[in-house]
């Protein structure tokens, strides 16, 4: 009897230390090639999938979602109107990087300025919005950071309204999802601005780097971003069967081929959203089947 027990204990020790340990994974979750991501149900705030979701990263032009949020608030309060026209300020005209092609003396409407941010991700449009809402960029950035804290974005710091590179302009995927959800729930009347595949101003037509817009029927937006530090980033929103999902993808690695990188970021977002809708709408909750052992 004693020898049998000794043999059994030895077998258990071999199994414990010599055989690779099994780990539990969620069945069907696709591999997402990104530094960090999160998938959130916009209706409930529930997190469906996440990787490094609570760590801050460089976010490039995803910054403009806060600029748009504050602009929407100003319009909603009656301080600005979509059909109001302005001529660009000198600070906006001097802003580099991506552009909506503001020209000296050429007027634009507030609606065009919004499209200038949501489609070609115009840095000039973001700086112009900052001046119209707060009077100056520093005052607007202070409001960006104050608002971030108020709505629960605790891992976010803003240093400009456009997302041009700054070492401390950062946010976590979770914070970005919180902001996106705030836009979707508080200002649904402005969501159509995020659904344009292209935008024309000053005779120049610019495409939307979010390649899902206009191609995938359930996609409703929302914002792209790219710098060398941030990689390719995308916030993609979609609606199916009355369910609204938010996918935030940060740091898709394709730093030297910008167009290829946006294709890849769009593909990663689509995979995440497809999985989320399948899990939410069509597949019954069966935890005992979803958890599988893999080597």
Beta strands per DSSP E along 111-187: 170-171
State yes or no: pLDDT of 12 exceeds 50: no
Pick the more confident residue, 254 or 61.
61
Catalytic residue among 51, 77, 98, 121: 121
> Which has the minimum average pLDDT: 2-6, 84-88, 146-150, 256-260?
2-6
Tell me if residue 257 is catalytic: no
- Determine whether 121 is an active site residue: yes
Q: Which of 64, 98, 223, 224 is catalytic?
A: 64
What is the pTM assigned to this prediction? Answer: 0.86
pLDDT at site 263? 83
Percent of the chain beyond pLDDT 90? 75
The β-bridge partners of 6 are none
Q: How many whole angstroms separate alpha carbon 74 and alpha carbon 188?
A: 15
pLDDT at res. 279: 86
At residue 292, does pLDDT exceed 60? no
pLDDT digits (tens, 9 = 90+) for 156-209: 999 999 999 999 899 999 999 999 999 999 999 999 999 999 999 999 999 999
State yes or no: pLDDT of 19 exceeds 90: no
34-284 CATH choice from 1.10.3720.10, 3.40.50.300, 3.40.710.10, 3.10.310.10: 3.40.710.10
Model pLDDT for residues 241-281, shown as the tens digit of each residue: 999 999 999 998 765 555 677 888 899 999 999 999 998 88
Domain limits of the chain? 34-284
Q: Which of 3, 27, 51, 61 is catalytic?
A: 61
State what percent of residues in the chain have pLDDT above 70.
84
Residue 126 has pLDDT above 50, yes or no: yes
* Interatomic CA distance for residues 116 and 206, integer angstroms: 9
Average pLDDT over residues 15-31: 45
Instruction: Tell me phi and psi for residue 94, to 5 degrees.
Output: -90, -5
Give the CA-trace dihedral at 63, 218, 247, 208, to 10 degrees.
-30
Instruction: Write down the pLDDT at residue 277.
Output: 93
Query: First vs last Cα of the chain: how many Å apart?
Result: 34
In the three-class reduction of DSSP (H, G, I as helix; E, B as strand; rest coil), residue 291 is classed as strand
61 is catalytic: yes
Q: What is the pLDDT of residue 258?
A: 55
Concatenated DSSP letters for 238-249? Answer: EEETTEEEEEEE
């Amino acid at each position: 009897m004693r020898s049998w027990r000794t043999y059994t204990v030895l077998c258990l020790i071999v199994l414990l230390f010599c055989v690779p340990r099994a780990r539990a994974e969620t069945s069907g979750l696709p591999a997402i090639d990104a530094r960090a991501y999160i998938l959130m149900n916009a209706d409930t705030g529930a997190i469906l999938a996440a990787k490094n979701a609570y760590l801050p990263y460089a976010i490039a032009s995803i910054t403009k979602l806060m600029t748009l949020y504050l602009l929407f608030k100003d319009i909603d309060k009656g301080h600005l109107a979509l059909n109001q026209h302005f001529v660009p300020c000198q600070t906006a005209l001097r802003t580099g990087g991506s552009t909506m092609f503001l020209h000296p003396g050429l007027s634009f409407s507030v609606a065009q300025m919004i499209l200038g941010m949501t489609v070609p991700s115009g840095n000039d449009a973001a700086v112009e919005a900052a001046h119209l809402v707060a009077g100056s960029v520093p005052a607007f950035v202070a409001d960006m950071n104050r608002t971030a804290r108020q709505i629960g974005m605790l891992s976010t710091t803003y240093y400009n309204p456009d997302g041009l590179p700054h070492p401390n302009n950062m946010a976590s995927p979770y914070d970005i999802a919180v902001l996106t959800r705030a836009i979707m729930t508080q200002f649904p009347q402005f969501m159509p601005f995020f659904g344009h595949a292209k935008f024309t101003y000053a005779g120049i037509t610019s495409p939307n780097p979010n390649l899902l817009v206009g191609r995938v029927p359930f996609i409703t937006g929302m914002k792209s971003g790219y710098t060398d530090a941030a990689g390719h980033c995308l916030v993609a929103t979609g609606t199916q069967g009355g369910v609204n999902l938010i996918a935030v993808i940060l740091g898709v690695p394709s730093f030297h081929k910008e167009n290829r990188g946006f294709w890849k970021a769009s593909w990663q977002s689509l995979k995440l959203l497809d999985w989320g809708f399948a899990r939410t709408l069509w597949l019954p909750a069966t935890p005992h089947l979803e958890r599988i052992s893999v080597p």
